[in-house]
Structure 1
Amino acid sequence: MGEKLLCLSNGHGEDAIAVRILQRLQEHPQTPELAALPLVGEGRAYEQVPEVPIVGPVKTMPSGGFVYMDGRELWRDVRGGLLGLTWAQWRVVRKWGKQGGKILAVGDIVPLLMAWLSGAPYCFVGTAKSEYYLRDEIGPLQRQSWFERLESWSGCVYLPWERALMRSKRCLAVFPRDGLTTERLQEMGIRAYNLGNPMMDGLEAKPVVAKGEQGRALTILLLPGSRVPEAHRNWEQLLRAVDGVQQAQGNRPLTVLAAIAPGLNLEPFVEALNAYGWQSTTKGVPGVDDEQAQRFSFNQGLLAISQQSFADCLRQADLAIALAGTATEQFVGLGKPAIAFPGEGPQYTAAFAEAQGRLLGQSLIRVPGPEQVADVVQRLLQDPDWHQLIAENGRRRLGLPGAGERIAKDVLQLLFGVE
């Protein structure tokens, strides 16, 4: 049909969300010519859609995309060529707009601004911001310092200049990450649509067995994050937490599933397991359909490290000990509790955990450190009513599966007039 759509995204989680939408677009008989440009990192997620070419320069920066966490990280990125990379990417986007292409921006203000500067019609999938950071269904959240209260000065989590980019006549739709954010943007005159969050696509939850069943193996998911060396430091802390849970649970069988990002070297993870007494085993670990998974045992516990069965790990686990970003949100969206404590960063710091706690509400249970995890696990096992509240909260904040397909349908209709 001669039409073209460029997908801009900025970060690993954003790339993954973009891929889910692109996959649904590919299924449509009248889909436009598709292309992608990951603005942060190398865009490995786009390998899942090999027919969609990456049409501009990509590069992994020293910060890994977390420049907003620390001014020193930004300076390291500038020295690593950030300005030259951004300029080269901008030239690609501008050329795309001049040639009559259209744009789908996924992420935060960076792809949104790029889309606006292109001169092309565009849609925006807002993955980074949520009204839940500022309020819940009852009202504004209590914030401690004047600086924290300043975050809500404009009456919306999206700042006036971000809303201006969304109000542009060329911005034909905004797809926020949840219903609360959609309602606020609609009140401010923005064409926002509540279609759900694509990060939940393909993650249907299995029924959770009653928590009072003390004889059943408790299944815990470990999420150390995807960035090294931070993930290795987080892993050490997670194993300390598991050690405490094993001691507290006594003779109850324990199954531990570790979802490790593809591409990470597993050697440091295995070395840490050995240091904590876990021994390699050939025993099967329930819930992991991954021939490459490495399996370990210790006392009454079985543990599997998998880099291929992320969705299975999320589905099978009863609860998670999580020092991750997007993966934690996906787990909570299945209606399950996650326990978190601050790591050393640069991503999963105390400030990040606090912000994630506002985003996810009571589904994320924050404790000071790994030593306190066992007590929370015990309380969760003894309180089915708490579980029910957590389940309802998680599903409300992350939405139902199928958002990728719904967004793809609207993008085709609004940008290309395809029914």
Structure 2
Amino acid sequence: LPSGVFVYNHRLKLLEDIRSGLFTLLWRQIQAIRQYGEDCDAVFAIGDVIVLVGAYLSGKPYMAFTSSSSAYYENRMKFDLLTNWLLKSDRCRQIFTRDRYTAQMLNQQGYHQAICVGLPAMDALELTGKDLPLLPNLPFVALLPGSRLPESSTNFQLLLDLVIATIPLFPNGIQFCAAVTPNLCLPDPTGTIPIQQLAAQCGWQYQAPGYLTHPQYQIKLHCIYDAFADILYQCDLVVGMAGAAIEQAVGLGKPVIQIPGAGPQFTYTFAEAQMRLLGSSVQTIGTQPATAETIVLAAQAIHRTLENPQYLEQCRANGLERIGTAGGGAAMARIFAKEFLKTDLS
């Protein structure tokens, strides 16, 4: 779909989705749900009202993980009428929320089966053991340009400018590592390495097997596509233009600096909502697509943040509160299996 499913940021994109066959797609999905529903005993629904409608139309009992909803957004929890009806249906046996605050709010409003057992996104952070080329005793900043092309390419070029703006603020040195999508690092069908072209456009030079240098600065930027969790665990700070990756960083107790881009996903609207969701761990620099001034302010924010040990400790506590630790996916599976499969997975 043209919106990339991010109509929250660009409401007019919904019209483009409709013209591109949104309703036809939904109808086919409903037909598929009904077909598969005949052979299943229960449904686990993850997402918003569309997914809940699908679970209900299956005709089977279901559990729901309201992954996109949180009371942190507006300090309250209010669903639309249809979502409210679907979650309070007798066939909805359990509601899982992404945080304890939301579960508390829902239970106060009569959703007595709402619980929080953790955010499954944290389960995906599996260390690879890859040896990151890091120097000891130097601050380590992770760069997350996102994973959706072509947006991540534009974001990556902004982050290259940020690296240059940050270096002078750390006379004793600082190191960066970019966690990028494989589509940027690996050769395309023509043999071209996209990240090499992006770097050249910004005055950087590509060196195999995946790092960039700049002729005017003593800096080596490593670009890695297969060690995301390792980078997150080892970094001291994250500069991100992404969604779920930022949530994972906050969950690990990392401070995050966001720079709004041109979208379609990572706009100021998205970044501001994510800041409300994730709390004090996240700072958003600027309210418009990043400019040269935004980059300078972001570089200053990196320096200010890394020099504030009290704030860094606060980020660790905030991460536990807003996201929590790993294990949410397994906990949901155990509850689902015990209810519908009469099986104990513990």
**Common fold, TM-score beyond 0.5?**
yes
Q: Is residue 117 of structure 2 the alignment partner of residue 195 of structure 1? A: yes
Q: Is residue 330 of structure 2 the alignment partner of residue 392 of structure 1? A: no
User: What are the within-5 Å matches in structure 2 for residues 144-155 of structure 1?
Assistant: none
Offset at 1:245? 0.7
Offset at 1:383? 1.2
Unpaired runs of 5+ in structure 2?
128-134, 187-192, 287-293
Q: Deviations over 1:183-211 (max 9, x none)?
A: 11111222112100010115389xxxxxx
User: What are the within-5 Å matches in structure 2 for residues 135-150 of structure 1?
Assistant: 135=75
User: 1:132 is paired with a residue of what secondary structure?
Assistant: coil
Give the structure 2 partner of residue 403 of structure 1: 328
Q: Deviations over 1:152-211 (max 9, x none)?
A: xxx524334322211111111111000000111111222112100010115389xxxxxx
Give the structure 1 partner of residue 189 of structure 2: none
Unpaired runs of 5+ in structure 1?
1-60, 136-154, 206-213, 283-292
User: What are the within-5 Å matches in structure 2 for residues 177-326 of structure 1?
Assistant: 177-190=98-111, 191-203=113-125, 216-252=137-173, 254-264=174-184, 267-281=193-207, 294-298=210-214, 299-326=217-244
Kept in 2, the 8 Å contact 1:68–1:74? The answer is no
Give the structure 2 partner of residue 52 of structure 1: none
User: 1:339 is paired with a residue of what secondary structure?
Assistant: strand
Give the structure 2 partner of residue 348 of structure 1: 266
Counterpart CA distance in 2 for 1:264 and 1:72 is: 29
Kept in 1, the 8 Å contact 2:185–2:225? The answer is no
Kept in 2, the 8 Å contact 1:66–1:346? The answer is yes
Cα 1:264–1:125, aligned 2, differ >3 Å: closer, same or farther?
Answer: farther
Identity rate, percent: 36
Give the structure 2 partner of residue 336 of structure 1: 254
What TM-score results when the alignment is normalised by the length of structure 2? 0.86
Q: Deviations over 1:347-388 (max 9, x none)?
A: 111111111110011101111222211211211222100111
Q: Deviations over 1:272-313 (max 9, x none)?
A: 32344433446xxxxxxxxxx612334332222122111111
Give the structure 1 partner of residue 93 of structure 2: 172
AA paired with 2:213? S
User: 2:343 is paired with a residue of what secondary structure?
Assistant: coil
Kept in 2, the 8 Å contact 1:64–1:227? The answer is no
Offset at 1:68? 3.3
Q: Deviations over 1:75-106 (max 9, x none)?
A: 22222222212111101111223345321111
Q: Is residue 339 of structure 2 the alignment partner of residue 414 of structure 1? A: yes
AA paired with 1:417? K
Cα 1:160–1:85, aligned 2, differ >3 Å: closer, same or farther?
Answer: closer
Q: Deviations over 1:85-138 (max 9, x none)?
A: 211110111122334532111122211121112211111111111111112xxx
Counterpart CA distance in 1 for 2:115 and 2:241 is: 31
AA paired with 2:95? V
Offset at 1:265? 6.4
Kept in 2, the 8 Å contact 1:133–1:157? The answer is no
Kept in 2, the 8 Å contact 1:129–1:157? The answer is no
Give the structure 2 partner of residue 65 of structure 1: 5
User: 2:95 is paired with a residue of what secondary structure?
Assistant: strand
Cα 1:264–1:163, aligned 2, differ >3 Å: closer, same or farther?
Answer: farther
User: 1:177 is paired with a residue of what secondary structure?
Assistant: coil
Cα 1:204–1:92, aligned 2, differ >3 Å: closer, same or farther?
Answer: closer
User: 1:123 is paired with a residue of what secondary structure?
Assistant: strand
User: What are the within-5 Å matches in structure 2 for residues 13-162 of structure 1?
Assistant: 61-135=1-75, 156-162=77-83
Counterpart CA distance in 2 for 1:264 and 1:102 is: 40
Give the structure 2 partner of residue 44 of structure 1: none
Taking only aligned residues, the RMSD between alpha carbons, in angstroms, comes to 2.1
Give the structure 2 partner of residue 37 of structure 1: none
User: 1:131 is paired with a residue of what secondary structure?
Assistant: coil
Counterpart CA distance in 2 for 1:162 and 1:108 is: 8
Give the structure 1 partner of residue 131 of structure 2: none
Specify which of 301, 305, 308 is matched with residue 380 of structure 1: 305
AA paired with 1:89? Q
Cα 1:352–1:418, aligned 2, differ >3 Å: closer, same or farther?
Answer: same
Counterpart CA distance in 2 for 1:98 and 1:228 is: 38
AA paired with 1:335? G
Offset at 1:316? 1.8
Give the structure 1 partner of residue 132 of structure 2: none
Give the paired residue count: 321
Cα 1:275–1:248, aligned 2, differ >3 Å: closer, same or farther?
Answer: farther
